Structure 1
Amino acid sequence: MKIIVVGAGAIGGYVAARMLEAGLDVTLLVRAGRKRQLESDGLIVSSPLGDYSGQPPMLVGGEAGGPFDLAIIATKAYGLPEIAEQLRPYLHERTAILPFLNGMKHMEQLAQAFPGQPLLGGVARIEITLDDRGTIRHLNPYHAYSFGKFGPIEDDEYAIIRNVLSTVQLFKENADIEMDLWEKYAFINVLSGLTTLFQAPVGDILDTTSGMDAFRRLFAETNEVIARAGGRLSEGIADKQLRVIGGLSAKSKSSMLRDMENGLPTESAHIQGYLVELARRHECETPVLDIIHQRLEIYEKRRLAAIEGLRE
């Protein structure tokens, strides 16, 4: 099976490294700058579960290659429309698409961009970052990339993919990937929302009079919106989510907060923005979410204004 991994940042680079390590036929689709960096230094992963260093096959959009049988998308969600067009020439009519993106909006976008194409759902649970030298740094000894059927895919096609992915310890099949996607969405919305609102790690938020209550209220709003929108959540999910928050390292930050601290674009429109859209559509009151969304809108407008100012 020929596999293309779109994106060689923290999430994509890590999954590519573990697949290459297992001997799979993997090519990276990357931007020109990242390709030069990888050609110079290699794909490097520093992880408590085992380091990796190698020179993977790479393509920049527009270069000849493929077609591929499985396309794994692991990029920031705000770049998906552009990425979909770059990816299109490398697919055949039965190429399966497996995204590891935050949120749920991308599943709608992919189904619209590639109607009838086999589509799987994917959920990445890993604390990881890309440092300024291009090294992928895995921050704790845990990783799990769940996958499962989501859109139209034949049983025999899925069986082949499942068998290939089962050779990589990183991957875990989930028979109810849709529920997993909604639950990860809820968690990411809350964690990224509160850490960016307060611009503080989890421990600083919890170490306040109303710290855990802020998480509780936002989980309640988020889960209500998801339920009204038709998303399924497991029994007792709210208590489970709060236990996970309480068990996080005091220094834990969301990737969105790291992006904000570095002046980078965020996935706020894709995560908080889409949830606000669902809340309005289903007439849900979301006072905490609304404030977070407003805060992130202000950040993005200021960031864009600063970029325009530098161009003048």
Structure 2
Amino acid sequence: MNILVVGAGALGVYFGGRMLEAGQNVSFFVREKRAAQLTKEGLKINSPEGTFEGRDITIFTSPEEVRNIDLVILAVKGYHLDEVIPQVQTIVQQTGTSFVLPLLNGIEHIDKLQQAIGKEKVLGGFASIIATLNELGHVEHTSGSSTFKFGILHEQQTEISVQLEVLLSQVKTKLVREENILKSMWKKYIFITAFSGITSAMQLPSGFIVSSDATFATAKRVILEMTMLAEQEGIILTDQEIESVGKTLISFKKEATSSMHQDLRKGLPIEVEHLHGGALRLAAKHQVEVPVIETLYGILKPYENGRPTMS
């Protein structure tokens, strides 16, 4: 299977690199600046799951260059989605790509991709990892493990889902083929909206979530608001599943933090519109109130495009 990873941030390089390490035929579609960095510095992963370095990497910077792709793995930030969709459309049309597997957080991107390339082509999926890029563009994986989950959103995807599970079985990550991937995506969305929102608003790592009863109560309130939105969308979580999301929130090492908080500290754009803004659009759609999420959104919105400056 010929796999194209669109995006070479920490997420794309980590999982694309792990697939290369396992002997899979993987190429990358990136911007020219990132392509130059990868060409000069190579692809390198520093991780508790094992270090990997690759130099002979196939890189594309224009959709017209791409040929003979069976699966596109979309590993971009939410704020790049609208820019990338036309490029993915071109790649799918000219290569005959059968499926696209997005690893974005949130939910809104599924509908956008389905409208652009067809419902039958868009698989469900997401990744769980705490990682960032260092000054050389190499991955620094700081959590103890990583997880890659995927599953079908359309009846025509059963065969490729099984094939992908077998194909990627040797990859150094926890690979899970989910029967109800949409519910799993929602559970991740609930968690990441709380975790990224609270750590970024505090501008402190995860250990401070439980250091104050008021802060932990705020985080739990986000989980409840997001759970309500899931129910409005037909996704029902059990009490145990809701409790599990809360436990995950406080399971990290005290110094660990969210990717959004890491980006905010670096002065980079953050996914507040894709995550918290998406939740607000769902709340408006169903005419319900989510006051804590709305507050976090208001606090973080000035950082959406990087470190704010007075103009």
> How does the TM-score come out when normalised to structure 2?
0.92
Q: Decide whether aligned partners of structure 1 residues 212 and 71 sit closer, same or farther in structure 2, where only a CA change above 3 A counts.
A: same
Q: Decide whether aligned partners of structure 1 residues 40 and 208 sit closer, same or farther in structure 2, where only a CA change above 3 A counts.
A: same
In structure 2, the residue matched to 1:174 is: 178
1:131 aligns with 2:134: yes
Give, in whole Å, the separation in 2 of the partners of 1:8 and 1:253. Answer: 21
Please say which of residues 283-292 and 98-107 is displaced more in the overlay: 283-292
Give, in whole Å, the separation in 2 of the partners of 1:204 and 1:99. Answer: 31
CA contact (8 A) 2:280 2:294 kept: yes
1:260 aligns with 2:264: yes
List 4+ stretches of structure 1 deviating above 6 A: none
Q: Decide whether aligned partners of structure 1 residues 208 and 115 sit closer, same or farther in structure 2, where only a CA change above 3 A counts.
A: same
In structure 2, the residue matched to 1:46 is: 46
Please say which of residues 252-261 and 295-304 is displaced more in the overlay: 295-304
Which digits, 9 at most, give the CA deviation of each residue in 1:65-103, with x for residues without a partner? 213000001110111121122233332445210011111
Aligned sequence identity (%): 32
Matches of residues 12-51 of structure 1 in structure 2 within 5 Å?
Answer: 12-51=12-51
In structure 1, the residue matched to 2:217 is: 213
Give, in whole Å, the separation in 2 of the partners of 1:223 and 1:88. Answer: 33
In structure 1, the residue matched to 2:82 is: 81
Q: Decide whether aligned partners of structure 1 residues 147 and 209 sit closer, same or farther in structure 2, where only a CA change above 3 A counts.
A: closer
CA contact (8 A) 2:263 2:269 kept: yes
In structure 1, the residue matched to 2:241 is: 237
SS in 1 for 2:236: coil
1:140 aligns with 2:173: no
Which digits, 9 at most, give the CA deviation of each residue in 1:192-228, with x for residues without a partner? 1111222222212321242321222221111112212
CA contact (8 A) 2:6 2:74 kept: yes
CA contact (8 A) 1:97 1:117 kept: no
Give, in whole Å, the separation in 1 of the partners of 2:14 and 2:238. Answer: 29
CA contact (8 A) 1:8 1:28 kept: yes
Q: Please tell me the residue identity of whatever aligns with 1:229.
A: E
Q: Please tell me the residue identity of whatever aligns with 1:159.
A: V
CA contact (8 A) 1:74 1:100 kept: yes
Q: Please tell me the residue identity of whatever aligns with 2:91.
A: Y
Which digits, 9 at most, give the CA deviation of each residue in 1:20-58, with x for residues without a partner? 111111111011111111111110100111101112111
CA contact (8 A) 1:182 1:233 kept: no
Give, in whole Å, the separation in 2 of the partners of 1:258 and 1:167. Answer: 30
Give, in whole Å, the separation in 2 of the partners of 1:156 and 1:75. Answer: 26
Give, in whole Å, the separation in 1 of the partners of 2:297 and 2:155. Answer: 33
Please say which of residues 242-251 and 18-27 is displaced more in the overlay: 242-251
SS in 2 for 1:214: helix
1:161 aligns with 2:161: no
Q: Please tell me the residue identity of whatever aligns with 2:83.
A: E
Q: How far did residue 298 of structure 1 move?
A: 3.1
> Structure 2: where are the runs of 5+ without partners?
none
Q: How far did residue 128 of structure 1 move?
A: 1.0
CA contact (8 A) 2:49 2:172 kept: no
SS in 1 for 2:145: coil
Give, in whole Å, the separation in 1 of the partners of 2:305 and 2:53. Answer: 39
Q: How far did residue 245 of structure 1 move?
A: 2.1
CA contact (8 A) 2:5 2:26 kept: yes
Q: Decide whether aligned partners of structure 1 residues 294 and 169 sit closer, same or farther in structure 2, where only a CA change above 3 A counts.
A: same
Match of 2:252 among 248, 252, 257: 248
> How does the TM-score come out when normalised to structure 1?
0.92
What is the root-mean-square deviation of aligned Cα atoms in Å?
A: 2.0
SS in 2 for 1:66: coil
Please say which of residues 54-63 and 14-23 is displaced more in the overlay: 54-63
CA contact (8 A) 2:72 2:97 kept: no
Q: Decide whether aligned partners of structure 1 residues 202 and 234 sit closer, same or farther in structure 2, where only a CA change above 3 A counts.
A: same
